[in-house]
Amino acid sequence: MKKRILAACDETAVVKERLIHWGYEVDTAFDGEETMQKFGSFKPDLLLLDLKMPKMSGMRVQEESKRRRLGLSIFILSVVPSEAEMCRCPARGADDYIFKPFDTWRVRESVERILSFRRERTDHEQP
């Protein structure tokens, strides 16, 4: 079964193409509200998230997903925020972050590492 990734960033076309090429099932969202709506219907394993999005910021999406205990992995792909905001990413539930401009191979490495860790964690939690 393919891992599912929801890409919510302004480079969705490039990111989606690469993720599909690497064997993932991918859906995209344009803004924070659409991202939150797609959690229920698409049920992603990983959220690739931009911090600066229309309607609802990526920071707010992070906080909401943590509050709702959605249990998905979050990978930030965004422009460099302030140092204070950067430090808050892990507290909001981010598993990793890369700032733009980015190298697609670095994205691939991070996605694979995050999903591998998620699989290991899930395997250990089963009785």
pLDDT by residue (tens digit) across 70-100?
Answer: 678 888 887 766 677 776 776 677 888 887 7
- Is the link from the previous residue into 81 a cis peptide, with omega within 30 of 0? no
| Domain encompassing residue 112 | 4-125
pLDDT 10s digits, 2-22: 899 999 987 778 888 999 999
Q: Write the CB contacts of 99 (distance below 8 Å, at least 6 apart in sequence).
A: 77, 78, 79, 80
Q: What is the dihedral angle through the alpha carbons of 75, 113, 109, 37, rounded to the nearest 10 degrees?
A: -30
- Crossing angle for the helix pair 58-67 and 83-91, to the nearest 10 degrees: 20
CATH code: domain of residue 94: 3.40.50.2300
Confidence grade of residue 23 (pLDDT, cut at 50, 70, 90): very high
Per the structure, the count of domains in the chain is 1
